[in-house]
């Protein structure tokens, strides 16, 4: 299994805070691995993703992409061609007037000509099951449609892995299932940060959290109960069976 | 942003935007330097022909022209009475000079002509395609991006401002003439600025992560046709004849 991304000895804390987010953190990500990150708010999950993709430079430590150190802008450019990042807020990711243009933005920047870019864009829309949306105006889409579209824009770069930051926030069950279906049909490595345990469980196979400034794998099953109340609770019923 | 004039099927709507921009620029620069009424009147008359060719909704045109002419009307109140010259008529103590009235007429004709050219040539193209045309005409990429991103996000920012205003109202805010009101509005404007700045950073990051390197690409392709060359040539003829009329010695 080849290692796609490797972080070594990462130390980082935000300028105005005394508490360090990462202390000597190391992490390896193999091609085609599917990893879910859970944890409380503020533990550093989004920071972790941003360090992986080079949006935040760690105070200490090194990043390796396919074995080579990522140092210059050119290294970052090569890494970002192969590792896609889906932001938490799709509005920040959709800046072109129409859907087709937004999805084609990535391929055009990678040097493809107009016809090739259009073909790849249509294929990506196909992958997220959004055919027919080509001429729609991006900022007039619904929240769920924007979310799926932002996924398509990253898929158009044809990456080998994707990093997703809270992909199911604010989604209704129907769109959520749509995304689960789409992610499971893709043959890519995934790192997903989410609070939605059921979502991570259905899309990833290994679970991590961030504790004491390092990433730790969670491999012990812990038996626990969820308590809640609603009308009719004393009658026999089930949850989570609707598809 | 609603682009009411960009929808349409006329010759001007279908012409190549690059030809339109170059022609419009030529004509506007010429009209701006005209010195005398005959040339300005001819120019204005020809721009009315453009209006007819573009088949734009009349009500909207009138509304647009009204705004500019309100400003021009304001000038009419002052120019005739402040420019020295032979008196044409008097109101109480103030004398309206011929030169002043000439100048007011000239300004009115030029303003309206220029505005009509902008509406019929520039506003008949959707903004993203106009941006591509400008980029093709070698306008710096940074300026083109500013135009595109402003167009894309101006509604978003306006909605954010509205949300802040609503949030204040829900908590009992009533605008009055006091420090609390000014401070509140100042905070809201500042918040919108800060949020826009941070949004700008995030959008920029999203663009970089998809390979953006400063250059402008688009799926749209232009096709220069014979009619566009004709358009440009007509613009040059227009410019030449207007300038000629302006420089002809005329008794008026």
Query: How far is Cα A232 from Cα A239, in angstroms, rounded to an integer?
Result: 13
A240 within a domain of the structure (yes/no): no
Percent above pLDDT 70 for chain A: 98
- Whether A237 is covered by a domain: the verdict is no
Instruction: With respect to residue A145, please indicate whether it lies within any of the assigned structural domains.
Output: yes
Averaged pLDDT, B100-119: 92
**Is the residue at A223 inside a domain?**
no
In chain A, which residues have their Cβ closer than 8 Å to the Cβ of B212? 105, 109
Which of B153, B213, B221 is facing A109, going by the closest CB pair? B213
Q: What is the dihedral of CA B74, B78, B83, B84, to 10 degrees?
A: 150
Contacts of B75 (CB under 8 A, 6+ apart): B104, B107
Bridge partners of residue A137, in order along the sequence: A98
Interface-testing mutation among B209, B211, B223, with chain A (most A C-beta atoms within 10 A): B209
Question: What's residue A1's pLDDT?
Answer: 60
Q: Is the pLDDT of residue A14 over 60?
A: yes
Residue A233, in any domain of the structure: no
Look at residue A183 and tell me if it is in a domain: yes
Q: Residue B219 is nearest to which of A93, A95, A101, comparing CB atoms?
A: A101
**Does B211 contact A at CB distance below 8 Å?**
yes
pLDDT tier at B5, thresholds 50, 70, 90: confident
Res A196: pLDDT: 87
Q: Which of A77, A74, A86 is nearest to A109 (CA)?
A: A77
3-class secondary structure, B163: helix
Stretch B58-87: mean pLDDT:
87
Average pLDDT for A105-109? 89
Confidence of residue B18 (pLDDT cuts 50, 70, 90): very high
pLDDT category at B12 given cuts 50, 70, 90 is confident
Distance from CA of A66 to the nearest CA of B (A): 18
- Residues in chain A with CB shorter than 8 Å from the CB of B214 are none
CA-based nearest residue to B120, from B244, B1, B235? B235
Q: Does B223 touch chain A (CB under 8 A)?
A: no
Residue A64 or B80, more confident: A64
> How many CA atoms does the CB half-sphere of A219 hold within 13 Å?
3
Residue-level pLDDT at B133: 92
Does the pLDDT of residue A214 top 90, yes or no? no
Distance CA A86, CA A179 (A): 13
Q: Backbone dihedral region of B16: left (phi > 0), alpha (psi from -120 to 50 degrees) or beta? A: beta
Full-model pTM: 0.78
Chain A residues close to B221, C-beta within 8 Å: 114
Q: Does B20 score more than 70 pLDDT? A: yes
Chain B residues lying within 8 Å of A157, measured CB to CB = 210-211
Q: How far is B220 from chain A (nearest CA, A)?
A: 8
| Mean pLDDT value of segment B74-99 | 83
* Cα nearest neighbour of A121 on chain B: B219
A235 belongs to a structural domain: no
Nearest Cα residue in chain A from B203: A92
Average pLDDT, chain A: 89
The pLDDT tens digits for A20-33 are 889 999 999 998 89
Whether the CB-CB separation of A45 and A39 falls below 8 Å is answered with yes
pLDDT band at A243; cut points 50, 70, 90: low
Confidence of residue B250 (pLDDT cuts 50, 70, 90): low
3-class state of residue A34 by DSSP = strand
- Inter-chain touch B210–A154, beta carbons under 8 Å: yes
3-state secondary structure of A85: strand
Q: CA B200: distance to chain centroid?
A: 25
Q: Are A70 and A63 in contact (CB under 8 A)?
A: yes
pLDDT in tens, B132-190: 999 999 999 999 989 988 888 888 888 889 988 888 888 888 888 999 899 989 999 99
CA dihedral B12, B148, B158, B207 (to 10 degrees): 150
Shortest Cα–Cα distance, A3 to chain B (Å): 21
Q: How far apart are the first and last CA of chain A?
A: 35
Cα four-point dihedral sign A226, A228, A234, A235: negative
**pLDDT reported for residue B174:** 86
DSSP bridge pairs for B95: B90
Partner-chain contact A139 B155, CB within 8 Å: yes
Asked whether the predicted pLDDT for residue A190 surpasses 90, the reply is yes
Contact B219 A91 (CB under 8 A): no
Test B210 with A96 for CB contact under 8 angstroms. Answer: no
Q: What is the pLDDT of residues A37-89, one digit of tens each?
A: 998 888 889 999 999 999 999 999 999 999 999 999 889 989 999 999 999 88
Residues B90-119: what's their mean pLDDT?
Answer: 89
Domain residue limits, chain B: 4-125+222-247, 134-208
Which among B126, B203, B219 has the least Cβ separation from residue A114?
B219
Whether A234 is in a domain gets the answer no
Which site among B210, B211, B214, B215 would you substitute to test the A interface, given the most A Cβ atoms closer than 10 Å to its Cβ? B210
ipTM of the complex as predicted: 0.77
When pLDDT is averaged across residues A111-135 and rounded to a whole number, the result is 92
**How are strands ordered across the β-sheet holding A214-218?**
A83-86, A161-165, A189-193, A34-37, A206-211, A214-218
Q: Would you say residue A177 has pLDDT above 90?
A: yes
Please give the pLDDT value at position A121: 95
For the cut 60, the answer to whether the pLDDT of residue B1 exceeds it is no
Residues of A within 8 A of B129 (CB-CB) are none
Q: Which domain holds residue A200?
A: 3-218
Helix (H) / strand (E) containing A37? strand A34-37
- For helices A99-109 and A114-127, the axis angle rounded to 10 degrees is 120
Cα–Cα distance between B186 and A211 in angstroms, integer?
Answer: 42
Reduce the DSSP state of residue A9 to 3 states and report it: strand
Higher pLDDT: B251 or A176? It is A176
The total domain count for chain A is 1
What CATH number is attached to the domain comprising A106? 3.40.50.300
- Cβ-in-10-Å burial (0-12, 13-18, 19+) of B34 comes to buried
Cβ contacts of B85 within 8 Å, gap of 6 or more: B97, B98, B99, B100
* Per-residue confidence (pLDDT) for residue B124, from 0 to 100: 92
| CB contact at 8 A, A135 and A175 | no
B203 touches chain A (CB under 8 A): yes
Q: Collapsing DSSP states into helix, strand and coil, what is residue A123? A: helix
CB of B252 within 8 Å of a chain A CB? The answer is no
Q: Do A96 and B152 touch (CB under 8 A)?
A: yes
pLDDT value of residue B118: 93
């Amino acid at each position: 299994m080849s290692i796609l991304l490797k972080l070594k000895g990462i130390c980082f804390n935000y300028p105005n805070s005394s508490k360090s987010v990462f202390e000597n953190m190391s992490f390896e990500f193999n091609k085609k691995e599917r990893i879910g990150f859970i944890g409380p708010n503020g533990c550093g999950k989004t920071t972790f993703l941003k360090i992986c993709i080079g949006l935040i430079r760690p105070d200490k430590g090194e990043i390796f992409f396919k074995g080579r150190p990522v140092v210059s802008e050119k290294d970052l450019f090569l890494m970002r061609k192969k590792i896609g990042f889906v932001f938490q807020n799709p509005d920040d990711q959709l800046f072109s007037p129409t859907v087709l243009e937004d999805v084609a933005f990535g391929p055009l920047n990678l040097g493809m000509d107009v016809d090739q870019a259009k073909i790849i864009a249509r294929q990506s829309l196909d992958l997220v099951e959004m055919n027919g949306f080509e001429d729609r105006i991006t900022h007039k889409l619904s929240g769920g449609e924007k979310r799926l579209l932002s996924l398509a824009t990253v898929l158009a770069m044809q990456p080998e892995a994707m990093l997703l930051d809270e992909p199911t926030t604010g989604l209704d069950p129907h769109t959520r299932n749509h995304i689960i279906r789409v992610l499971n049909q893709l043959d890519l490595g995934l790192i997903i940060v989410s609070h939605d345990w059921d979502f991570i469980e259905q899309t990833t196979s290994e679970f991590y959290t961030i504790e004491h400034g390092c990433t730790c794998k969670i491999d012990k099953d812990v038996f626990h109960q969820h308590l809640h109340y609603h009308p009719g609770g004393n009658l026999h019923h089930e949850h989570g069976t609707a598809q | 942003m609603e682009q009411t004039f960009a929808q349409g099927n006329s010759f001007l709507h279908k012409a190549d935007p690059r030809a339109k921009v170059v022609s419009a620029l030529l004509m506007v620069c010429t009209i701006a330097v005209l010195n005398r009424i005959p040339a300005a009147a001819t120019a204005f008359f020809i721009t009315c022909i453009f209006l007819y060719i573009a088949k734009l909704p009349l009500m909207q045109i009138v509304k647009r022209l009204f705004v500019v002419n309100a400003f021009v009307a304001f000038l009419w109140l002052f120019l005739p009475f402040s420019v020295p010259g032979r008196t044409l008529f008097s109101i109480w103590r103030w004398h309206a000079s011929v030169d002043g009235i000439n100048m007011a007429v000239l300004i009115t004709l030029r303003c309206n002509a220029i505005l009509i050219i902008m509406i019929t040539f520039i506003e008949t193209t959707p903004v993203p395609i106009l941006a591509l045309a400008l980029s093709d005409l070698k306008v710096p990429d940074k300026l083109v991006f500013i135009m595109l991103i402003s167009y894309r996000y101006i509604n978003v920012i306006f909605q954010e401002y509205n949300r802040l205003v609503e949030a204040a109202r829900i908590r009992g805010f009533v605008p009055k003439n006091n420090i609390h009101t000014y401070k509140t509005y100042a905070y809201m404007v500042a918040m919108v600025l800060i949020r826009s700045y941070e949004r700008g950073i995030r959008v920029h990051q999203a663009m970089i992560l998809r390979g953006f390197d400063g250059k402008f690409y688009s799926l749209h392709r232009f096709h220069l046709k014979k009619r566009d060359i004709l358009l440009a040539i007509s613009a040059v003829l227009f410019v030449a004849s207007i300038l000629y009329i302006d420089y002809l010695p005329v008794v008026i």
